[in-house]
Amino acid sequence: MALQTVLDPKLAKHAREHPYLLNYLNSVVKEVGMPILYEAHELSYDMKKLRNVNIIYYIGDGIYIHVYMPPKGTVSGYRKYVAIEPPRPHPNLFRIIELKLAETITEQDVSEDPNEKRNILLRKLEKIVKVVDDPVNYERIKPDSRTVPVYRGDLEYLKYYVVRDKIGLGTLEPFTKDPWLEDITCRGLGYVYVFHKIFGPLETNIEFKTEEELDTFIIKLAERIGKPISHARPIVDATLPDGSRINIVYGHDVSLHGSNFTIRKFSKIPVSITQLIAWNTMDARVAAYLWILLNSNMSGFICGETASGKTTTLNAIAVFIPPTYKVISIEDTAEVQLPHLNWVRELTRDTGVKESSITMFDLLRAALRQRPNYIIVGEIRGAEAAIAFQAMQTGHPVLSTFHAASVERVVQRLTGDPINIPKSFMDNLNFVLIQSAVWREGIMVRRVLSVNEIIGYDPKADAIVYVPVFVWDPVRDVFAFRGRGASYLLENKIAAMRGISRTQMRKIYDEIEQRAYFLRLLVEKKIFNYFDVWNAIIKTYEIGLDTAIKRLERGSLV
């Protein structure tokens, strides 16, 4: 029985539109079984619980992704991630098209905008090719032909590969288009690995088989992003046109396995605070507490190990900074995404020459002259910490991420070499949030382990005094509010700012519950889009929190 006669209607429809999908299915069904087809937006985080995964999802531009459990006997330990692309045009056709494009593209056709580059390339391609209705013997095409005959059925495939290889990232293009990927890693020779938001670490079908192939790819990649790489300068950090962060290491001088690269992808629309609550990364009460803190100009660090979700949390809680504030963000690579209209976004510049390079330290020092209401530092690592603490001392609240797995480690790193912040300055930092990637029932999830208030420096004990106001209970997967009735920041700082007396202190704890209830209503209404959440929070400033809650209870804020 032909395979197409047993496909479900949805899969059969896609196979008719893209015959190469049917060819792929014919090659794998006997080994892994018939996959279920989804559109990319139809995937769900509930799929994390699936064990025997076998799904195909469509990400557009004719690209399908197949995620499946390899057949028994496979010893890699990884589930597979296969990018199914349109068939590549005949080598001679592609070679001649490249030559023709090189002849027709001029200096006037240069653009920095990726979409405009794509449009220019496709316009040039239209002038080069002559579409014909009958199949073409591409071996016989000569480079001196005025136009290149292309069979109508091959035209879209040709367009895909011209754009993919000339503007995109070549063999990595399917990965950059997949909205469900977090990381793309090439460790050297062998397969490329990815980290999927739902299915975790996966082994792909993309493989570098020789060092020459890998080195050539990396050199071209570095040139395309405007950061040439060489043995003299073997390490490059850069931002891709889509906002993803890439780190490239070239050659064997600094890497025993040879050239390698890692791409950290970032969503165009950040993860919202309501989505974090729905995932139980934190609960609504933790979020409400952070809302009050950031609304009251408190400074804080979001801390954790690599890939613990620090920047995601930073972006999510940034909606709690008042909407009329002037916010300055300072980063090495563009990761922070804010909804504020008055947002000044600044990036460092590394030219390899000290005199012309701009460091985090330089940008932070300049930011103090720009009268910001909030300063956000993408990540504090070195000397810029001294300026950040000076900013806090002069009344400029600072929000940043920091690599440390506990408050003790935060203090050790800040007060030790090379940062060397005096311990007596530590009370300028108001709170420290500790976050981690943890495993629950075989699934990796992110959790806020604790939110801690920094009280100050105790000279007798030579120690920093801090109080954990929220602590995650790993057994029950809930967050305990230990600071109820005893929060230093709420009672000694924020209540004082608001003129709340000791006898009325309950008001501020009631406000946490009220804000938490508002956030829970947003979750119940499935308001998860980052900017929809931002607009809902703006509404609380316009009409008041009480009225906003009543409107949500009735149906909608609008």
pLDDT tens string 452-493: 999 999 999 989 999 999 999 999 999 999 988 889 999 999
Residue 338 lies in a domain: yes
Strands 343-347 vs 327-331: parallel, antiparallel or unpaired: parallel
Q: Residues, the chain, total?
A: 558
Average pLDDT over all residues of the chain: 91
Q: What is the amino acid identity at position 104?
A: T
Lowest mean pLDDT among 32-46, 153-167, 379-393: 379-393
Instruction: Indicate whether 498 belongs to any domain.
Output: no
- Identify whether 160 is part of a domain: no
Q: Which of 140-144, 364-368, 422-426 has the lowest mean pLDDT?
A: 140-144
Domain containing residue 308: 273-485
> What percentage of residues in the chain have a pLDDT greater than 90?
65
Q: Is residue 317 part of a domain?
A: yes
1: confidence class by pLDDT, cuts 50, 70, 90 = very low
Give the number of domains in the chain: 1
Buried b / exposed e over 197-211, threshold 16 CB at 10 Å, is: bbbeebbbebebeee
Q: Side-chain half-sphere of 113: how many Cα atoms within 13 Å?
A: 5
Across residues 299-328, what is the average pLDDT? 95
At residue 369, the 3 state secondary structure works out as: coil
Residue 362 pLDDT greater than 60, yes or no: yes
365: in domain: yes
**Over pLDDT 70: what percentage of the chain?**
98
In tens, the pLDDT along 483-535 reads 888 899 999 999 999 999 988 999 999 999 999 999 999 999 999 999 999 99
Instruction: Say if 37 falls within a structural domain.
Output: no
Instruction: Return the top range by mean pLDDT from 1-15, 111-125, 220-234, 297-311.
Output: 297-311
pLDDT digits (tens, 9 = 90+) for 44-96: 888 988 888 999 999 999 999 999 998 876 667 899 999 999 999 999 998 99
pLDDT of residue 2: 54
pLDDT above 70 (res 558): no
Domain contains 115: no
Domain presence at residue 513: no
- The domain that holds 450 is classified in CATH as 3.40.50.300
Residue 5 pLDDT greater than 70, yes or no: no
* Structure confidence at residue 75 (pLDDT): 67
6 pLDDT more than 80: no
Sheet architecture: strand order including 343-347: 343-347, 327-331, 374-377, 398-403, 300-304, 431-440, 443-458, 463-473, 478-481
pTM of the predicted model over 0.85? no
| Gyration radius of the chain's alpha carbons | 27
